[in-house]
Amino acid sequence: MRVLNEIRFDNLRGDLFGGVTAAIIALPMALAFGVASGAGPAAGLYGAVLVGLFAALFGATPTLISEPTGPMTVVMTAVIANLIAMNPEQGMAMAFTVVMMAGLFQVLFGILKLGHYVTMMPYTVISGFMTGIGLILIILQLGPFLGQAPPPGGVLGTLENLPSLLSQIQPAETALAVFSFGLIVLFPKRLARFTPPQLLALVLGTVLSLMLLGDADIRRIGEIPTGLPAIQMPVFSAQQWSMMLIDALVLALLGSIDALLTSVIAENMTRKESDANKELVGQGAGNLVSGLFGGLPGAGATMGTVLNIKTGGRTALSGLVRAGILLVVVLWAAELTAQIPLAVLSGIALKVGFDIIDWSFLRRAHIVSSKAAWIMYGVIGLTVFVDLITAVAIGVFIANFLTIERMTKIQGESVKAIDRPDPSNKLNRDECLLLQQAQGKVLVFTLHGALIFGLAKVISRRFAVLDSHEVLIIDFHEVPVLGVSSSLALEDMILNDLEAGRPVYLAGASEQVRERLENLGVLKKLDPEHVLDTLEAALREANRYLEEKGTASAAEQPRANA
């Protein structure tokens, strides 16, 4: 596996255009997310440069644009607020330490090759927590949108103070926020490729505030320090250590999911696969360095990635060009952003919140599945009013529980005990003749699919009422995997028949099934000749046993009479 991403110069024009376009759209978003998080606009710019630079260098998806995103900003906002409330002096430094830890977690995920598993969660859960994050971002922007500082207490604090916010609305700032939000919403999509509406809202909103509202008391970004950011050394606190660790894990998981889902979009658009584990290493490196220099955490950004590809980007050179342009802004042009009104950034961030919400699935969830809809609604509620990790954990647990229940029901219907030929049993002609020849004395226990733990009770119940047979055959030929719980239920079945003096035959067991039964010690208790490759062979052996038993009984009968 190569260390660097795919950087080529045979698509120079396309990569330059892609990088420039991505940089243009990244600038207003980085400033908006920096202000929204509470870390300041400079932190948004630093994150946009550093996460994008290192993810482009060491990631695996050439066209992926990485930067601070709405979901990551929402979590970072809560991290900053909580740590500053607990430790006003060191809270911000501890928050950036959390970003570094999240980066290390992502690198560890990649090294452990967990990339494939990070996104293996039900869509209802992904949709629910993304929609919840969108709602959180919208709620947190209500204060700035109305021209006031965000109330303390996060979502609940904002909702509790909403009457006060409405009564103290600042008309000038709210007008600017409505202007920027409305411009982005109403901007023609066919023109967005050439002029990103976010940048246009940023420029026009600032110009209008200076020309028409110059005398009004409007809150602005203020001067951003130019030059390279100072290193933020890691700061730990024994009291907040466990909370910092959990926050870092949440950021790492969310960033990994966000990046890999965006990577899938890029793969579909470019028809080029990438290594998910290597991508996580690149994302982790970006977040580690971003936290080290006081930048926001980031992930793969869908909007920037799509625009990069549509404007010609095909290699990681486009991501490097984008990072270089933003670095120029950080080093020499940051003072130009001093007059940008906070209300304009609030309008931009509010539109991001609406875009994060999964409107498509919200409209159809109750039609697709009422259970899926309730899971999604539950995850949304937990995400907004509790926390993200609780929402994901409970959502995944319930969704997996319902899936296992459904799979158990479906597979349970295929667990059959057969002692007479029947068209519904799907036996071939020779197997039917052999079973008919046994005259109900042979019980064939057929199993299908992967035997998960939910089938253990089904197996036990089906067998418990069947004791009128003389020979047991267990047909495994359609069982690729045998779970522990199901194997224990089958062990009880086999041992019960052996103790009752009834022979047991195994038919069509795969290597995994045989290994599992051998580890349990079941195969040692069976005659090796009773482990056969096909059901037909097992039926022939069973009939041969019955014939020999019948011959022996007939020979013993005259002696008993004598």
pLDDT, tens digit, 9 for 90 and up, residues 101-157: 999 999 999 999 998 887 677 888 888 988 998 999 999 999 999 999 888 888 889
Structure confidence at residue 326 as a pLDDT band (50, 70, 90): very high
Higher-scoring residue by pLDDT: 157, 455: 157
Cβ atoms within 10 Å, residue 264: 16
> Average pLDDT in the 223-240 region?
83
271/196 same-domain check: yes
- Show the domain range for 502: 416-554
pLDDT at 67 over 80: yes
According to the model, what pLDDT value does residue 336 have?
Answer: 78
**Do 116 and 339 contact (CB within 8 A), yes or no?**
no
Of the two residues 543 and 422, the one the predictor is more confident about is: 543
**Res 183 pLDDT > 50:** yes
Domain C-terminal end among 338, 356, 374:
356
Does 370 reside within a domain? no
Do 21 and 121 lie in one domain? The reply is yes
pLDDT at 461 over 60: no
Mean pLDDT of 298-313: 89
Report, as an integer, the average pLDDT of 404-426. Answer: 71
Q: Is residue 433 part of a domain?
A: yes
- Is 222 strand, coil or helix? coil
Q: Is residue 399 part of a domain?
A: no
Owner of token pair 């994901």: 392
Instruction: Work out how many domains the chain is built from and give that number.
Output: 2
Average pLDDT of span 485-505? 86
Residue with the larger pLDDT of the pair 323 and 463: 323
In a domain, 379, yes or no: no
Where among 337, 356, 375 does a domain terminate? 356
Do 462 and 540 belong together in one domain? Answer: yes
pLDDT one-digit tens code per residue, 97-111: 999 999 999 999 999
pLDDT band per the 50, 70, 90 thresholds, residue 465: very low
Highest mean pLDDT among 96-100, 128-132, 253-257, 489-493: 96-100
CA angle 214, 218, 222 (to 5 degrees): 100
- The reply to whether 337 and 433 lie within a common domain is no
The answer to the question of residue 291 being in a domain is yes
**Three-class DSSP category at 314:** coil
Q: What is the pLDDT of residue 411?
A: 63
Confidence of residue 555 (pLDDT cuts 50, 70, 90): low
Residue 340 has pLDDT above 80, yes or no: yes
Nearest alpha carbon to residue 90 among 310, 248, 240: 240
At 435 the pLDDT is 86
pLDDT, mean over the chain: 87
Mean pLDDT of 481-495: 82
pLDDT of residue 440: 83
* Cut 0.85: pTM above it: no
CA distance 189 to 206: 23
Q: Would the pLDDT of 95 be above 60?
A: yes
Give the residue, 290 or 229, on which the prediction is more confident: 290
How high is the pLDDT of residue 34?
93
Backbone angles phi, psi at 474, to 5 degrees: -105, 120
Same domain, 351 and 434: no
Same domain as 291, residue 431 = no
Q: Find the angle CA(83)-CA(387)-CA(288) to the nearest 5 degrees.
A: 55
- Pseudo-torsion of CA 373, 374, 377, 382, nearest 10°? -140
CB 446 within 8 A of CB 477: no
- Give the C-alpha separation, 109 to 284, whole Å: 9
Task: Quickly state the pLDDT bin for 456 (edges 50, 70, 90).
Answer: low
Q: How many CA atoms lie within 13 A of 167 on its CB side?
A: 4
Which pLDDT band holds residue 300 (cuts at 50, 70, 90)?
very high
Residue 317 shares a structural domain with residue 440: no
200-226, pLDDT tens digit by residue? Answer: 999 999 999 998 876 678 898 888 877
Does 117 map to a domain? yes
Higher confidence at residue 392 or residue 441?
A: 441
Least confident of 65-69, 238-242, 273-277: 238-242
- Does 181 or 119 have the greater pLDDT score? 181
Three-class SS of residue 309? helix
For residues 439 and 350, state if they share a domain: no
pLDDT (tens digit per residue) in 501-552: 889 999 988 888 888 888 888 888 888 889 999 989 999 999 999 888 776 6
Q: Is residue 274 classed exposed, middle or buried when 0-12, 13-18 and 19+ CB atoms within 10 A define those classes? A: buried
d(CA 41, CA 32): 7
Shared domain for 333 and 428, answered yes or no, is no
> Cα(377)–Cα(386) distance, rounded to whole angstroms?
13
The answer to whether residue 4 is domain-embedded is no
Same-domain pairing of 181 and 269: yes
| pLDDT number for residue 187 | 92
- Is position 3 within any domain? no
**Which pLDDT band, with edges at 50, 70 and 90, does 492 fall under?**
confident
**One domain, residues 350 and 427:** no
Query: Averaging pLDDT over each range in 36-50, 209-223, 406-420, which range is the top one?
Result: 36-50
Which residues lie below 8 Å from residue 73, measured CB to CB, with a gap of 6+? 33, 36, 37, 137, 296
Least confident of 93-102, 166-175, 479-488: 479-488
The CATH number assigned to the domain holding 455 equals 3.30.750.24
| Residue 182 confidence (pLDDT) | 95
562 pLDDT tier (thresholds 50, 70, 90): very low
Q: How many residues does the chain have?
A: 562
- 346 and 455 housed in the same domain: no
pLDDT greater than 70 at residue 70: yes
